[in-house]
């Protein structure tokens, strides 16, 4: 058990951050699953925008780095464009 007050506070802070980080990460995973399972292109676009909002908030809260979020979102938009091309073929 910790004896110093600073160490006790660090443990409390770490636990709070752990909960916050897990919440954001699970929300992102759920949003991405919804994006993958969407049927129509319009529905996929809506789900992608929702996922992007959640990821941007996570980057703002310093859970993910800004460039990592940007890279993931870019990859998802490319994936969305790929589904459009497949529907035309």
pLDDT at 30: 97
- Write the CB contacts of 52 (distance below 8 Å, at least 6 apart in sequence): 73, 76
Quick one: pLDDT at residue 85? 65
Dig out the tokens for 47 from the structure: 């789900």
- Quote the pLDDT of residue 89: 52
Coil/strand/helix, residue 73? helix
Taking the domains of the chain in order of start, what are their residue ranges?
5-88
pLDDT at 1: 80
Contacts of 50-57 with CB under 8 Å at 24 or more apart are: 51/76, 52/76, 54/24, 54/27, 54/28, 55/28, 57/24
Which DSSP helix (H) or strand (E) runs through 27? helix 5-37
The CATH class of 5-88 is mainly alpha
pLDDT < 50: residue spans in the chain: none
């Amino acid at each position: 058990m910790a004896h110093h007050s600073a160490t006790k506070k660090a443990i409390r802070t770490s636990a709070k951050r752990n909960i916050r980080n897990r919440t954001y990460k699970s929300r992102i995973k759920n949003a991405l699953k919804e994006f993958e399972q969407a049927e129509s292109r319009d529905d996929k676009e809506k789900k992608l925008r929702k996922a992007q909002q959640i990821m941007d908030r996570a980057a703002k809260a310093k859970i993910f780095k800004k460039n990592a979020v940007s890279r993931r979102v870019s990859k998802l938009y490319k994936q969305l464009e790929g589904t459009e091309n497949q529907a035309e073929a």
